[in-house]
Chains A and B, each alone.
Chain A
Amino acid sequence: MSKVNSSNMELDLDRPNIEDYLPTDSIHEPLGKLRLRDLLDISPTLREAGGAIVDDSFTRCFKSNPPEPWNWNVYLFPLWCLGVVVRYGILFPVRVLILTLGWIIFLSCYIPVHWLLKGHDKLKKRLERALVELICSFFVASWTGVVNYHGPRPCARPKQVFVANHTSMIDFIILEQMTAFAVIMQKHPGWVGLIQSTILESVGCIWFNRSEAKDREIVSRKLREHVEGADNNPLLIFPEGTCVNNNYTVMFKKGAFELGSTVCPIAIKYNKIFVDAFWNSKKHSFTTHLLQLMTSWAVVCDVWYLEPQNMKPGETPIEFAERVRGIISARAGIKMVPWDGFLKYSRPSPKLKERKQQAFAESVLRRLEDK
């Protein structure tokens, strides 16, 4: 049994009513007096369970769709083989070269700037920002990234945060090449973690740990401090909290929406014809994911910078979060599902089951009174 970890505390009571999304009929319609057959007839509950076994909206969010094999005939197969040769034999080495070149340039500028300009903070920050944007551009070039940016470019102003839907860690790189955001991320092991703790620190990143409950308050505080700081880099948050397959969005965590700042939504949609950019972190490591991207033809995506939103009077942070999620999903043309992304790592809160039980219990008691 997987650990029922403390991120269950994330699953609050005051979240949008899942019953509105799930296709349920009421367990029993109140139809007069309670009879034996009404109690014995558990078919609606069974149907919901059967439906969940056969197909469910949560698993669909994390399904990476394998490309249909299109190359199994006499003339397409050699073409495909030629394609493989080009991709692995020509494109991949060129890309590795580009990336290596990029890293050399970056490090040879970054290290001196970081150590020698210790006193001149403003200049140092500006240069570091430009350098991070540079290395991200090199990364994007290494996958032949074709990114169409729509909308006004983000600018650094206090009291604003940026939120985007999340498909892979490359979302961050794609956005970062345009603007040096500060980001809030899960701390990763390995070389990614090394980059996180050195280079990304300079852009002003905040770390969290999914499995720690107390962490949530600390992170909340850090977010607030960052947003209020005048010359911090604009903060980018992925409120889904996990990577989703770019066909759906899962529920947004309210953390980004209760800071009292303007929220600027960003929608990202990848064109699956070229490559499926979804990073299934349970299946491959980030390194494998990058290699997969580097041996594909291109990464094509659209990025829309959408109109900044403020919390409306009388709106709760959760309603605000869902409203912004609706805006992003509509722009990117993807569907919304009512599940919390962290359910990938933990079980649903018992409150959800209790709500169903309560509804049924109340209907039984009500019908009992109808004599």
Chain B
Amino acid sequence: MGNTSSMLTQYDIEEVQEHCNNTFSQQEIVSLYQRFCQLDRNSGGFISADEFLSVPEFAVNPLSQRLFRMVDGLNFKEFVAFLSAFSSRATLQHKVEFIFKVYDFDGNGKVAFSDLLDVLRDLTGQFISEQQRELVLTHVLEEAGYKKDSLLVLSDFMKILGNTDLKMEVEVPVD
């Protein structure tokens, strides 16, 4: 799968499909490839910050910076694996893992109070004061049985989010 060719072979498609655990159909992978090539304007093999932020709908998203750092420098195969959490075929476990990764910025498997605060700050901006944010977080944490200095792991996230309806599906347009 060269950087310069914009044609995928059947072998390439199957390799990508395997890598993302069959969460996308082959047609969807072809569409995603067209999209990847469309975004990767300088054909560098990955999508740069500039190219991502040139999509206004992405740039105005409050979590764009966090997401961008997760997807920066990914080649196409990894790009599809990243997006697999948004597929309708993704399991709840997969989605919760994705959300966990968004919070667990340094990737050490543990989400601390500061991580929770960072995401809340991205989502609310200047419209809640920092103290209020801390208060809100401490309050809901304690109510759920955690302490302010608790470190949350994936299983905690599964427990908290496991029975909610996570609406995270994105439809891949197939021509």
Asked if residues B119 and A364 are in contact (CB atoms below 8 Å), the reply is: no
Number of B residues contacting the other chain (C-beta, 8 Å)? 58
A52 within 8 A of B: yes
Please name all residues of chain B whose beta carbon is closer than 8 Å to the beta carbon of A52 when the two chains form the complex: 55, 57-58, 61
Asked if residues B125 and A353 are in contact (CB atoms below 8 Å), the reply is: yes
B50 within 8 A of A: yes
Q: Which residue of A lies closest to B167 (CB)?
A: A43
CA distance A72 to B134 in the complex (A): 65
Q: Which of A339-358 contact B (CB under 8 A)?
A: 339, 343, 347-348, 352-354, 356-358
Chain B at the A interface: mostly helix, strand, loop or mixed?
Answer: helix
Q: Which residue of B lies closest to A343 (CB)?
A: B56
Please name all residues of chain B whose beta carbon is closer than 8 Å to the beta carbon of A358 when the two chains form the complex: 125, 127
A53 within 8 A of B: yes
B35 within 8 A of A: yes
A364-B99 contact in complex given A48-B57, A50-B83, A53-B55, C-beta closer than 8 Å: no
Chain A at the B interface: mostly helix, strand, loop or mixed?
Answer: helix
B4 within 8 A of A: no
B120 within 8 A of A: yes
**B83 CB, min distance to chain A CBs, angstroms:** 6
**B55 CB, min distance to chain A CBs, angstroms:** 5
A286 within 8 A of B: no
Please name all residues of chain A whose beta carbon is closer than 8 Å to the beta carbon of B173 when the two chains form the complex: 54-55
CA distance A345 to B85 in the complex (A): 32
Residue from the list A45, A56, A343 in contact with B63, Cβ < 8 A:
A45
A49-B64 contact in complex given A37-B161, A44-B167, A58-B55, C-beta closer than 8 Å: yes
Asked if residues A46 and B102 are in contact (CB atoms below 8 Å), the reply is: yes
What size tier do the contact residues of chain A reach? 35 or more
Asked if residues A56 and B55 are in contact (CB atoms below 8 Å), the reply is: yes
A39-B59 contact in complex given A357-B123, A360-B124, C-beta closer than 8 Å: no
| Residues of A near any B CB (own CB < 8 A) | 1-2, 22, 25, 27, 34-59, 63, 339, 343, 347-348, 352-354, 356-358, 360-362, 364-365, 368
Q: List 29 A-B contacts (CB under 8 A).
A: A1-B49, A2-B50, A22-B57, A25-B167, A35-B144, A36-B141, A37-B160, A40-B99, A41-B164, A43-B99, A46-B102, A46-B168, A47-B167, A50-B86, A52-B61, A53-B58, A53-B71, A54-B173, A339-B56, A348-B60, A353-B60, A354-B127, A356-B61, A357-B125, A357-B126, A358-B125, A361-B127, A362-B127, A368-B136
- Besides A42-B102, A55-B35, A353-B125, 11 more A-B contacts (Cβ < 8 Å) are A25-B167, A36-B146, A37-B144, A42-B63, A43-B167, A46-B67, A53-B35, A56-B57, A352-B60, A353-B62, A357-B127
